[in-house]
Amino acid sequence: MDLSERKLKILQAIVGDFIRTAEPIGSRTLSKKYDMGISSATIRNEMSDLEELGFLSHPHTSAGRVPSDKAYRLYVNSLMEKRTLTKQEKEFISKKLTNNVSELEKTIQCAARLLSEITQLTSFALTPNQNEDKLKYINILPVDSSTVVMMIVAESGKVSNTTLRLIVPYSEDRLELLSKSMTYYYKGKTLSEMLKVDIIKNFKTDIVALSRLAENIMPNFLHILEGMLDVNLYMDGYTNIFSFPEYNDIVKAKMFLEMVNQKDIFTNILINRDNGMIVTIGNENADNHMQECSLITASYHIDGKLLGKLGVIGPTRMKYDEVISVIELMTENLSESFKLTGGNEENE
């Protein structure tokens, strides 16, 4: 199954050209464009072999050849020359990303936008999964006679707060006691562990005096915890798909847009993907509606722990070399900037 040097060269030329032009590549075109020292007839024979091996296909008898998913896979794995970004490009990216780094969610959103601008594809960024994040403290502060703010601070620096209107009376002392007790009780537990414990029951028995207040607050507490565990998906560049001639078909464009707009499904696919740089091409994607797309994701981390994801989705005919390099650089930049500034972030 090892291909000859010449076959590889031909395949590389076809994939490269097709990525650029979206037109099926003919043998004569190839022989004229690249001086390989062989005639179009010879190229035809080689192409025929490559087709038999599953690397190329024919839209119809009298058309040129089109690379298959298998060909793209070979291209990505070994034929493709990794694109090294210029210093300007690198600086541009890191400048844009470190600009307003003080807010995690906004930086991630900004990364998605930047990625779609550079690659001209549909991009997405997933905020970190906070499952393993541990509780630092809980603070309940008075706002007015019936309103309090509940604030949950995690070790990563993530903060969540919610304004609650209470139906039972409270005093500042009691609020403070409740905050302290809850902090004492949960400190060091991960957020998902906290969700699993039957909080209300435990509190009822432990701190009887506060039970009514606690009963009022606890359901909200659970709700906030759930909100903290949610990952957010930011997407950008939906309409970039229109610049690909293969999506000039209204039905195809519609299907693509409907797919990427089903955020719940899409988020799930992303969450369940392995970490690191992952490229899945066409039929390698499990999802039915993604059989004509390639999905590239990479993960970034915060203090080496919480993992979020960043990537693009587009037609299988995409500039893999460029896109991979850009995503690589961006995830590095993100991880770096989150490490340096620590938890300097605004939460949701």
Partner DNA sequence: GGTTAGCACTCACTGGGTGCGAGTGCTAAC
Partner DNA sequence: GTTAGCACTCGCACCCAGTGAGTGCTAACC
Task: Please select the residue that binds DNA; options are 20, 22, 33, 48, rule is CB under 7 A.
Answer: 48
291 touches a copy of itself by CB under 8 A? no
Site string for a copy of itself, 152-171 (x = CB under 8 A): -x---xxxxxxxxx------
Name the token pair of 161. 């707060």
* Alpha-carbon distances of 133 from 191, 198, 210, 228, 332, rounded to whole Å: 6, 19, 28, 10, 22
Q: Which stretch binds DNA (CB under 7 A): 24-32, 203-211, 248-256, 294-302?
A: 24-32
Site string for a copy of itself, 235-274 (x = CB under 8 A): ---xx--x-----xxx--xx--xx--x-------------
296 CB-contact burial (10 Å; exposed 0-12 / middle 13-18 / buried 19+): buried
- Sign of torsion, CA 247 248 254 258? positive
334 touches DNA by CB under 7 A? no
As measured in angstroms, the least distance from the Cβ of 84 to a copy of itself is: 32
Identity of the residue, 158 or 319, whose beta carbon is nearer to a copy of itself in the bound complex: 158
As a whole number of angstroms, the distance between CA 190 and CA 167 comes to 30
As measured in angstroms, the least distance from the Cβ of 32 to DNA is: 9
Tell me, what amino acid is at 25?
I
50 touches DNA by CB under 7 A? no
Residue 305 near which of DNA, a copy of itself, none (CB within 5-8 Å, type-dependent): none
Site string for a copy of itself, 67-106 (x = CB under 8 A): ---------------------------------x-xx---
Identity of the residue, 65 or 96, whose beta carbon is nearer to a copy of itself in the bound complex: 96
As a whole number of angstroms, the distance between CA 24 and CA 47 comes to 12
Residue 21 near which of a copy of itself, DNA, none (CB within 5-8 Å, type-dependent): none
* Alpha-carbon distances of 232 from 31, 126, 263, 266, rounded to whole Å: 50, 6, 10, 11
Tell me, what amino acid is at 3?
L
149 touches a copy of itself by CB under 8 A? yes
222 touches a copy of itself by CB under 8 A? no
Longest distance between any two alpha carbons in the chain, whole Å: 92
59 touches a copy of itself by CB under 8 A? no
Identity of the residue, 308 or 315, whose beta carbon is nearer to DNA in the bound complex: 315
Q: Which stretch binds DNA (CB under 7 A): 55-63, 92-100, 258-266, 272-280?
A: 55-63
Partner residues linked to 139 by β-bridges: 151
Task: Please select the residue that binds DNA; options are 29, 240, 335, 347, rule is CB under 7 A.
Answer: 29
Query: Are the C-beta atoms of 315 and 292 separated by less than 8 Å?
Result: yes
Task: Please select the residue that binds DNA; options are 59, 219, 227, 276, rule is CB under 7 A.
Answer: 59
Q: CA-CA-CA-CA torsion for 20, 21, 24, 28, nearest 10 degrees? A: -90
Q: How many residues bind DNA (CB under 7 A)?
A: 26
Residue 257: which of 244, 272, 274 has the closest Cα?
Answer: 244
Task: Please select the residue that binds a copy of itself; options are 224, 306, 329, 334, rule is CB under 8 A.
Answer: 224
Residue 245 near which of DNA, a copy of itself, none (CB within 5-8 Å, type-dependent): none
As a whole number of angstroms, the distance between CA 268 and CA 261 comes to 13
As measured in angstroms, the least distance from the Cβ of 31 to DNA is: 8
Residue 194 near which of DNA, a copy of itself, none (CB within 5-8 Å, type-dependent): none
Query: Are the C-beta atoms of 116 and 135 separated by less than 8 Å?
Result: no
Tell me, what amino acid is at 131?
N
Residue 343 near which of DNA, a copy of itself, none (CB within 5-8 Å, type-dependent): a copy of itself
Query: Are the C-beta atoms of 309 and 125 separated by less than 8 Å?
Result: yes
Residue indicated by tokens 């030329």? 13
215 touches a copy of itself by CB under 8 A? no
